[in-house]
Structure 1
Amino acid sequence: MLERMAITVVPYSPEWPQQFSRIAADLGRSLAGVPVVAIEHVGSTSVPGLAAKPVIDIDVIVRREHVDAAIAALVEAGYTHRGDLGVTDRESMAEPDEPRRNVYVCVEGTLHVRNHLAVRDILRRRPDLRDRYGAVKSALAQNPGLDIGAYLAGKSPVLQEVLAESDLTAAEKDAILRLNTGT
């Protein structure tokens, strides 16, 4: 059973892109010896105007053969490797300091990466979907006993609307739905 804890969703902050830029620069220095494809600001804090949990989500995208080197470099920089947390080809790294962030070492081209980038890009260009998504997240956060699994499941219907705008296949959208709803 997932831990129940208050989920905090706050209005968009213009500080989030600045925080990402600082973290990305630090990550770039830490990963200087690793061939990195991209360091992407993903998640709700990457969408101007979107309410979000105040945690910066970052995908460090590498080719499969460089995952171990990226993890080692980030551990050397003070991050803690937490494993894949049930998502294949995505390794979670716990931050060594503030601001709060979720850093993931991701294999290039995987569904996880394509999903994150598609959601971000669609919400950036569709203010109607962005605002609906933000309203759903804010409403869910009003329930103090909600666990993270129920929060993710509660967001899934609007996320499926967002993904309807993407080039993901029906099977890929279904896989994302199953991951988010735990079914």
Structure 2
Amino acid sequence: MDLDEPIHVVAYDPAWVQMGHELVRNLSRRLEWASANVEHIGSTAVPGLDAKPVIDVQVGCASAQIPGVVEAIRRCGFEHLGPAGVPGREYLRRRSGHSANVHVMEHGGQLWADNLLFRDFLIGRPDLARRYARSKHEAANQASYLLAYSALKEGPVAEIMAEARRVR
């Protein structure tokens, strides 16, 4: 299983919000036994933000439940890729039907909080969301594969996170 894959950034699609809600609802129902919290995160959760057309959700649960939660999501047709370079996270993806990524982590941990802070800060700051969209397009123009694209976005993401932490 190769983490790297071709990417493209497209104009915002209002359907992403509903697709995210549906995935959150479906996973929440399947993971009731784990008392898991599921949130739509990433660029597709930010109205008006151009993005890769892939819905990202994070699933938070007790650390002891992570293996069972990962297995339950895998049985829903997701491919498990391990931490995929992010300590404290288990990454799963689905590329059939509506493409989606699921990030499983300890609920309430730093990664959980950072993902929500980033999303909510961009929702509240459309000017920064537009600036971030420009950086995403620039990165995609320079790199058509996920790992290189992600590396090119590290600077803009760090700047946005630093500002979000300053004002919270």
Bin for the TM-score computed over the shorter chain: 0.7 to 0.9
Q: Measure how far apart 1:47 and its partner are.
A: 0.5
Distance 1:11 1:63 in 2: 36
Give the secondary-structure state (helix, strand or coil) at the position aligned to 2:38.
Answer: strand
Taking the aligned partners of 1:86 and 1:166, their CA distance within structure 2 comes to 23
2:155 match: 157
Q: Contact conserved, 2:118 with 2:160, CA < 8 A, in 1?
A: yes
Q: Give distance in 1, aligned partners of 2:85 and 2:154.
A: 18
**Structure-2 residue corresponding to 1:60:** 59
The alpha carbon displacement at 1:10 in A equals 0.7
Structure 1 residue 110: Cα displacement: 2.6
Give unmatched runs, 5+ long, in structure 2: none
Counterpart CA distance in 2 for 1:96 and 1:78 is 9
> Is the CA contact (8 Å cut-off) linking 1:122 and 1:165 kept in structure 2?
no
CA distance in 1, matches of 2:5, 2:88: 28
- Structure ID, larger Rg: 1
Q: Aligned residue for 1:166?
A: 164
Aligned-pair CA distance for 1:87: 1.7
Alpha carbons 1:124, 1:130 under 8 Å: kept:
yes
The alignment's TM-score, normalised by the length of structure 2, stands at 0.86
CA deviation digits over 1:117-172, x for unaligned, max 9? 111111111111111000111122223x544333222222222221122338xxxx
Distance 1:28 1:51 in 2: 26
2:127 maps to 1:128: yes
Q: State how 1:16-95 maps to structure 2 within 5 Å.
A: 16-36=16-36, 38-95=37-94
Cα deviation, 1:47-89, whole Å, max 9, x if unaligned, reads 1111100000010111212212212322333333221112222
Deviation at 1:28, TM superposition (A): 1.7
SS class of match (1:52): coil
User: CA RMSD, aligned part only?
Assistant: 2.3
Instruction: Say which is worse superposed, 127-136 or 77-86, in terms of deviation.
Output: 77-86
Q: Distance in 1 between matches of 2:60 and 2:50?
A: 25
Aligned length: 165
Q: More displaced, 132-141 or 95-104?
A: 95-104
CA distance in 2, matches of 1:60, 1:5: 23
Q: Is the 8 A contact 1:78 1:96 kept in 2?
A: no
Change (3 A) 1:141 1:80: closer
- The separation in 1 between residues aligned to 2:65 and 2:165, in whole angstroms, is 27
